[in-house]
Structure 1
Amino acid sequence: MSDVFPERVLPAGPITLRPFGADDAEDNRAACADEVVQRWLPLPRPYTLEASVDWCTKTAHTLRESGDGVHFAIVDPDEGRLLGAIGLKRTDWHELVSEVGYWVAPWARGRGIAALATRVLGRWLLTEQGFERLELKAAVGNIPSRKTAIKAGLHREGTLRNAGRLHTGRIDVVLYSLTPADL
């Protein structure tokens, strides 16, 4: 097994997970500048078009090539419009564990997109990639993300005190997991 995830497209009915590209930059900028996304993710503030172009054309791809994980644009398969993002990070290739993170654009919320994307990515990681564990850490106060984790089939394991960081400082996070036995 290589210590780098393959570049893949993962179709999933009403959504497709695919690598980020330059065409995603404007929608990515708008979504990452959204107050809800900014509240729960320590992204640059303000989130500029320059930062978005850099993410879509360089950083997301460099992180995959470095072995850290893999990042996907969640898109509408018919229109190609960016609906959100999902990615694996902090990948431990020796232990076969990776952490998932996601956000959904304001224009796509309330449709179950993040839960579906998490199920698809989790299944791909644990079956095709042969991993043993997928983790998700959600801020204690981020109720929508915590509900998404449960909808995606992840299991709540407990609270990790002072284990996260937001613009407002250190926070407690709830740890969720998915293992091959859960599929």
Structure 2
Amino acid sequence: MSDVFPERVLHAGSITLRPFSADDVEDNRTACADEVVQRWIPLPRPYTVEASVDWCTKTAHTLRESGDGIHFAISDPADGRLLGAVGLKRTDWHELVSEVGYWIAPWARGRGIAAQATRALGHWLLTEQGFERLELKAAVGNIPSRKTAIKAGLHREGILRKAGRLHAGRVDVVLYSLIPADL
């Protein structure tokens, strides 16, 4: 196994997980500037067009090539519109563990997209990629993300004190996991 995930497109019901592209720049900028996304993810503030161009055309791809993980645009298969993002980060290739993160654009919330994307990515990681563990860390106060983790089939393990960093400072996070036996 190489220490880089293959570039892939994953189809999961009503969504497609695909690499980011220049076509995503405006929707990505709008979504990443959203107050809910900014509250729970320490993205650049303000989230500029330049930051979005960099993410969609360079950084998301460079992170895959570096072995850190893989980042997918969650899109509508009918028109390709960006609905959100889901990705793996802090991948430990020796221990076969990676951490998932996600956000959903304001125009796509409330449809179960994050759980669907997380389930699809977790299944791909644990089966096709042969990993042993998927982790998710959600701020204690981020109830929607915590509900998504459970809906995606992850199991709550406990609280990691001051293990997260948001714009507001350090926060406690709830650790969730998915292992092959859970599938």
- Structure 2 length-normalised TM: 1.00
Distance 1:112 1:70 in 2: 21
Distance 2:86 2:138 in 1: 14
What are the ranges of 5 or more consecutive residues in structure 1 without an aligned counterpart? none
Distance 1:78 1:5 in 2: 26
Offset, 1:13: 1.6
Task: Spell out structure 1 runs of 4+ moving beyond 3 A.
Answer: none
Query: Once the two structures are aligned, what percentage of the paired residues are identical?
Result: 89
Structure 2 residue 135 is the aligned partner of structure 1 residue 142: no
Q: Identify the residue that residue 53 of structure 1 maps to in structure 2.
A: 53
Offset, 1:180: 0.1
Deviations 1:77-107 (A, max 9, x none): 0010000000000000000000000000000
Amino acid at match of 1:79: D
Q: Identify the residue that residue 5 of structure 1 maps to in structure 2.
A: 5
Q: Identify the residue that residue 160 of structure 2 maps to in structure 1.
A: 160
Q: Identify the residue that residue 39 of structure 1 maps to in structure 2.
A: 39
Distance 2:136 2:57 in 1: 25
Q: Identify the residue that residue 77 of structure 1 maps to in structure 2.
A: 77
Distance 2:56 2:95 in 1: 29
RMSD after superposition:
0.2
Count residues with an aligned counterpart.
183
Offset, 1:168: 0.6
Deviations 1:44-93 (A, max 9, x none): 00000110000000000000000000000000000100000000000000
Distance 1:156 1:80 in 2: 33
Distance 2:21 2:13 in 1: 21
What are the ranges of 5 or more consecutive residues in structure 2 without an aligned counterpart? none
